[in-house]
Amino acid sequence: MSFTSALRCRECKREYPLDPIYVCDFCFGPLEVVYDYEAMRQALSREKIERGPLSVWRYADLLPCEGEPVDICAGFTPLLKAGRLGEELGLRHLYLKNDCANPTWSFKDRVVTVAATKAREFGFGTLACASTGNLANSVAAHAARAGLEAIVFIPSDLERGKIVGSAIYGPTLVAVDGSYDEVNRLCSELAGKYPWAFVNVNMRPYYAEGSKTLGYEVAEQLGWRAPDHCIVPMASGSLYVKIWKGLQELAKLRLIDSVHTKMSGAQAAGCSPIVSAWEAGTPNIRPVRPHTIAKSLAIGNPADGYYALQVMAESGGFGVAVSDEEVVEGIQLLARAEGIFAETAGGVVISGLKRLVEAGRLGRDEVVVAFITGAGLKTQEAVTEALSPPLHVQPTIASFEQALGERSGVGTQRTADRAS
């Protein structure tokens, strides 16, 4: 059951019915779901949540849906203690929230399962989105599961893994010659013309709520407590803002103690409008034209940038931007230290974390959670050149030992000595 009562404008606080709408008619502010937290508090307990399914739907009472979920098991992904990476970075209590483990290998399954469920409740026949790649994968998959039509819009220069990762589910896949911001503008216009559920346009108030589940899960997995510090990748800024909201809600519902979590946000330097505004100390985001290998984060005009800056200020977190070289190094560091192959957004987070530690902005004893939001097989182009090619050998010991010796300069002799 849902405890929602209305949509409310974040700016002027006017209320609206729970319809597929997203912007205030009076002030153009974004609309957000309103909950009855008092009633929710009566109905919810840690035990009730713990008895729920191993997916985001264990938090159904905190989400804005009534109907049967469109469910491919998004969420309840592992929270791993990162001993080796922590040691490398100088952090004693580093955790990785591994959202690569979602059904379409990114955190977007969390938002889409909520949006798809709501779209079906509203009676839509078509699920749509403007995407930097991962969202399109997830919308196409959830539409397939629900038997809905899917039409997904992406910039035409995306990585192959992101394109195949949508096409496989049979959507109408539209590759637009333009940046994500242009794709998004096109979709906003189309949403006024076609009766489709654009998950991140007219369904945005509901869709965005799905990201709160990352905050809930991390707190539950830490034994019902908020971490001291989160580091989160930012594109539109929605994920970052909603993790904070999720933690705040748990405290409001007395499921955890008060929250003292510093929220840090990471971007690629080639598209860092939120971090640039934070560094300049201004609430005004200046849109940029993205130029980075972190394509999933390449949003030059971030819809929730303003609210992300508010959370950064309120929580005492930091903004950090990293170069494309650091993105690749971050992906490699994570893979080699912890066995997790992240996409470019993960490289942004790990290198961003490294920078914050080096700048003395994280304490060695803080409980830190780094959010790894998407999987690396989708962005192979980013790392391929940085990796050693395989040893290429004939199926003989001699060929193998020769190749190994050439690669390492030592292997052959030692192996030969031991064998004789």
Ligand X SMILES: Cc1ncc(COP(=O)(O)O)c(C=O)c1O
Q: Which of 171, 237, 300, 347 binds ligand X (CB under 6 A)?
A: 237
Determine the Cα–Cα distance for residues 409 and 165; give it in Å rounded to an integer: 40
- DSSP letter for each residue of 274-343: HHHHHHHT-S-PPP----SS-GGG--SS-TTHHHHHHHHHHHT--EEEE-HHHHHHHHHHHHHHHS--B-
Determine the Cα–Cα distance for residues 94 and 367; give it in Å rounded to an integer: 6
Binding partner of residue 106 among Zn ion, ligand X, none, CB under 5 to 8 Å per kind?
ligand X
Q: Which of 179, 184, 238, 261 binds ligand X (CB under 6 A)?
A: 238
Q: Which of 56, 158, 239, 285 binds ligand X (CB under 6 A)?
A: 239
Of 74, 80, 305, residue with least CA distance to 211: 74
Binding partner of residue 29 among Zn ion, ligand X, none, CB under 5 to 8 Å per kind?
Zn ion
Q: Which of 9, 203, 255, 335 binds Zn ion (CB under 5 A)?
A: 9
Q: Which of 27, 280, 313, 386 binds Zn ion (CB under 5 A)?
A: 27
Task: Show Cβ contacts of residue 387 under 8 Å, excluding neighbours closer than 6 positions.
Answer: none
Alpha helices, DSSP H, located in 168-293: 180-191, 204-207, 212-221, 238-252, 273-280
Q: Min. distance of Cβ 397 from ligand X in angstroms?
A: 43
Helix, strand, or coil here: 61? helix
When asked if residue 236 is in the footprint of ligand X (CB under 6 A), the reply is yes
Binding partner of residue 24 among ligand X, Zn ion, none, CB under 5 to 8 Å per kind?
Zn ion
Q: Which of 29, 78, 405, 411 binds Zn ion (CB under 5 A)?
A: 29
Residue among 9 and 226 whose Cβ is closer to Zn ion: 9
Residue among 248 and 373 whose Cβ is closer to ligand X: 373
Binding partner of residue 11 among ligand X, Zn ion, none, CB under 5 to 8 Å per kind?
Zn ion
Please, which of residues 89-108 interact with ligand X by CB under 6 A? 106
When asked if residue 11 is in the footprint of Zn ion (CB under 5 A), the reply is yes
Q: Min. distance of Cβ 18 from Zn ion in angstroms?
A: 16
Please, which of residues 112-171 interact with ligand X by CB under 6 A? 132, 134-135
Residue among 27 and 359 whose Cβ is closer to Zn ion: 27
Report the 10 Å Cβ neighbour count for 308. Answer: 29
Of 22, 20, 21, 99, residue with least CA distance to 56: 99
* DSSP H or E run through 128: strand 126-130
Please, which of residues 377-416 interact with ligand X by CB under 6 A? none
Please, which of residues 319-378 interact with ligand X by CB under 6 A? 343, 345, 373-374
Residue among 344 and 412 whose Cβ is closer to ligand X: 344
Please, which of residues 176-235 interact with ligand X by CB under 6 A? 233-235
User: In this structure, are residues 249 and 212 in contact, taking their beta carbons and an 8 Å threshold?
Assistant: yes
Task: Show Cβ contacts of residue 221 under 8 Å, excluding neighbours closer than 6 positions.
Answer: 79
192: burial class by Cβ within 10 Å (0-12, 13-18, 19+)?
exposed
Q: Min. distance of Cβ 11 from Zn ion in angstroms?
A: 5
State the sign of the Cα–Cα–Cα–Cα dihedral 134, 137, 140, 144: negative
Query: Amino acid letter at 169?
Result: Y
Binding partner of residue 12 among ligand X, Zn ion, none, CB under 5 to 8 Å per kind?
Zn ion
Residue nearest ligand X, Cβ-based: 374
Helix, strand, or coil here: 375? strand
Determine the Cα–Cα distance for residues 33 and 85; give it in Å rounded to an integer: 38
Q: At what angle do helices 238-252 and 305-315 cross, to 10 degrees?
A: 50
Residue among 124 and 180 whose Cβ is closer to ligand X: 180
Q: Min. distance of Cβ 164 from ligand X in angstroms?
A: 16
Residues within the interface to ligand X (CB under 6 A): 106, 132, 134-135, 233-240, 296-297, 343, 345, 373-374
Residues within the interface to Zn ion (CB under 5 A): 9, 11-12, 24, 26-27, 29
